[in-house]
Structure 1
Amino acid sequence: MLFSTPPLTDDDRAVLAAIDAHREAMRYSLSAPHRWVGTLARQQRARDTVGSNSIEGIHVSREQALAIRADSADLVEVDEDWLAVRGYSDAMTYARIMADEGRDLTLPDLLALHFMTTAHDLGQRPGRLRLTDIYVQQEGSGRTVYTGPAPEEVDGLLDELLSSLASNSPDEHPLVSAAMAHLNLVMIHPFSDGNGRMSRILQSWRLYLDRLAEAAFVSVEEYLGRNTEAYYAVLAEVGAGRWAPERDASPWLEFMLTAHYRQAMTIRRRIDVMEQVARRVDELIDTLALPERAAAPLEFVLTDWRLTNALYRDAAGVTRPTASRDLNLLTKAGVLVREGDKRGAAYSPSAELQQWVELTRRSARQRFDVAADPYRSLRRGRKL
């Protein structure tokens, strides 16, 4: 027996409809072959990587995650965190490939994903199911807050979960089925380690399976990384300390749909800013006779990313000397301001550009409230 999908309430349906409307607007903006779409997608993959891994205490910067996702080991220091994030990134890419092929997920697939995610620590039995009881303990106090099902139950529960995904009803909204897949896998806790990351990978795979054009932009990994305490709290509420699939999963579904709603608002805000940034970058290149290859790096720095020689050459696809020459040119042209020396140098927008960026962001913040609680709004009689 697994946690069953709770009957959708009128509020659930209203929130899903609002999310779909935001996704449709995103799809329209992202469908055109604009250069900035690639920049935004790379940024979002890095943010998702940071968010999902931070929940497990694995911390890298956005810029480090960007380099890892780009397989640019020469741009960052390779350490234990790098290996963990690299493995997670590989697993997420593999999940996307499997979903694109449209085939059902099997237990060997799940074990392969787990191996990629945890292979940096062989002591955690990468690619193998746990053989012992498992207890989730509260950090600090050491108090047991959740006890998973017995190890002899794990095989059968995973078979049931994978079968349910293979026979998923076409009438069930993909966000709902993806959320329930996440809940069931994390509650089964089939592995010695990596259960949270695996559950979030499975959720993303379920979204990719529906071939959502904007799937890379509607993952809630970034949101969960920013709201880890609330994430753990709702899991504790639904789980009640032990494997109890008969319990009501409604609080989990409301939490997840709220996460998707807020993340959709966040992405729409970023699209709004990026569209204006891209236009401003094109104007700068034209009026100042700057090299066109500087466009993507400038989009990064004008959307609050730390621009270094490493990020410049990765975004522009150039060598270190070319990146250095371009950065010097952009500095002399008054577009960028250099901070620091030699390899530690970083670049930020000029004061004039920084002021323009802040005005652009302020306008986007007014249009898209990323903290809005859709359920609270509905309960107060407001429309979404």
Structure 2
Amino acid sequence: MPDYLAKLRFDAQQLAVLRALGEYRGKQQLYAAQLPEVLRDLRQMALVASTESSNRLEGVVVPAHRLKSLVLKNATPQSLSEQEVAGYRDALGLIHESGERMPFSEGSILQLHGILYRYTPQPGGGWQATTNDIIECPPDGSPRICSQPVAMTDLIARYRTAQDQHLADPLVLVPLVVLDFLCIHPFLKGNGPMARLLTLQLLYHFDYAVGRFISLERIFEASRARYYEALEASSQGWHNGTHDIAPWLDYFWGALLRAYQEFEERVGAIERGRGAKGERVRAEILKRSLPFSISEIEDACPGISRDMVRVVLRAMKAEGLITPTGKGRAAKWEQLPQAIGQATTAQANSSGGKR
């Protein structure tokens, strides 16, 4: 791997993308510190979307009402498809909970695979065991014959060396490892879902945690043709160390960039919600002494979208000023005691300004 990494060259556009991703990582950390309530909502949505999309990429489909129940309520899986969904839910939960602390090791990889298939009749957690499944793998640029477990041992050792010696930018190292994993194909089943789980885990190692809030799996599924085309193009020649990593790197970086852009759009709306339109919504909410609905605020603030109203509601909820009184379409909101003081102050300031 050191020799292969040393030969890699990137053009100005690729370097600009890497810089942009580094900047987004810094913003992500800032948002995580400042807007924890908003991010909790995003985490829940991402968990459902990631579980659904990763399984759909494998042809596993579960009805929407069952999917949400399985992911969020830990419902008991009732079919093979639901068993696979529940397994991905559990493995993904472990990644999100402790991915940055989990080592990239044979033990952790086998553990994840075991969790992935913990509900199915055929359990996971073991490498391919067939005697005739051998591959050529390029640990140092020179091909040789080895088994999947040996290849994985080599891959893990090369990753640790590259990480410890800072031989490449993390955003080069992570997709390289994912491609190597898929080319080694160490499991009889589940290599695709495992590659997506390992993607998140390795990104966590370098504080690229956008996958916790925006589903990377959903982005992969939305561009599935390019996802598979990039993997296919970059795997050509892998067995003799002549593969071109560029198609996969460009796709991977583009998907990650889209995730960060979407993350900033969703969370940044809170900041935009503090502008003129947001203040109009906020003032209208503070006037309400009785429970109110989103529609009522919309009607009182013409020209302001429902999305903006929701943004302000979430922000004010995070500030402890309002709380929902129900769920679904009939849900209403009401002020908490600390909001009443703000409303009185706002009215006094308004009156003082007129004098």
Q: Is TM-score (shorter-chain normalized) higher than 0.5?
A: yes
Is the CA contact (8 Å cut-off) linking 2:46 and 2:214 kept in structure 1?
no
Q: Report 1:173-322 matches (<5 A).
A: 173-212=169-208, 214=210, 216-217=212-213, 220-240=216-236, 243-273=239-269, 286-289=286-289
- 2-side partners of 1:283 and 1:161: how far apart? 58
1:161 matched residue in structure 2:
155
Which runs of no fewer than 5 residues in structure 2 stay unpaired? 138-144, 295-305, 308-324, 335-355
Q: Report 1:58-97 matches (<5 A).
A: 58-60=60-62, 65-73=67-75, 78-97=78-97
Code of the residue aligned with 1:95 in structure 2: it is I
- Post-superposition shift, 1:24? 2.7
1:19 matched residue in structure 2:
21
1:119 matched residue in structure 2:
118
Code of the residue aligned with 1:158 in structure 2: it is M
Is the CA contact (8 Å cut-off) linking 1:148 and 1:189 kept in structure 2?
no
2:8 matched residue in structure 1:
7
Which runs of no fewer than 5 residues in structure 1 stay unpaired? 136-146, 296-301, 304-321, 334-384
Cα pair distance change 1:155/1:212, threshold 3 Å = same
Is the CA contact (8 Å cut-off) linking 2:99 and 2:204 kept in structure 1?
yes
Code of the residue aligned with 1:70 in structure 2: it is L
Cα pair distance change 1:40/1:217, threshold 3 Å = closer
Code of the residue aligned with 1:120 in structure 2: it is Y
Cα pair distance change 1:328/1:219, threshold 3 Å = closer
- 2-side partners of 1:273 and 1:134: how far apart? 55
- Post-superposition shift, 1:194? 0.4
1:106 matched residue in structure 2:
105
Is the CA contact (8 Å cut-off) linking 1:238 and 1:252 kept in structure 2?
yes
Summarize deviations over 1:326-369 as a string: whole Å, max 9, x none. Answer: 854549x9xxxxxxxxxxxxxxxxxxxxxxxxxxxxxxxxxxxx
Indicate the SS of the match to 2:99.
helix
Is the CA contact (8 Å cut-off) linking 2:135 and 2:147 kept in structure 1?
no
- 1-side partners of 2:23 and 2:172: how far apart? 16
- 1-side partners of 2:44 and 2:149: how far apart? 36
- 1-side partners of 2:170 and 2:243: how far apart? 22
Is the CA contact (8 Å cut-off) linking 1:118 and 1:126 kept in structure 2?
yes
Summarize deviations over 1:286-335 as a string: whole Å, max 9, x none. Answer: 4445779x99xxxxxx66xxxxxxxxxxxxxxxxxx847x854549x9xx
- Post-superposition shift, 1:158? 0.3
- 2-side partners of 1:133 and 1:276: how far apart? 60
Q: TM-score, normalised to structure 1's length?
A: 0.63
- Post-superposition shift, 1:162? 1.2
Aligned residue pair count? 293
- Post-superposition shift, 1:22? 2.8
- 2-side partners of 1:327 and 1:98: how far apart? 36
- Post-superposition shift, 1:205? 0.7
- 2-side partners of 1:186 and 1:27: how far apart? 30
- 2-side partners of 1:128 and 1:187: how far apart? 17
Is the CA contact (8 Å cut-off) linking 1:133 and 1:149 kept in structure 2?
no
Q: What is the RMSD computed on CA atoms of the aligned residues?
A: 4.0
Is the CA contact (8 Å cut-off) linking 1:238 and 1:251 kept in structure 2?
yes
Q: Identity over aligned residues, as a percent? A: 22
- Post-superposition shift, 1:18? 1.5
- 1-side partners of 2:283 and 2:74: how far apart? 30
Cα pair distance change 1:285/1:245, threshold 3 Å = farther
- Post-superposition shift, 1:274? 5.7
- Post-superposition shift, 1:96? 3.9
- Post-superposition shift, 1:166? 2.3
1:139 matched residue in structure 2:
none
- 1-side partners of 2:132 and 2:116: how far apart? 19
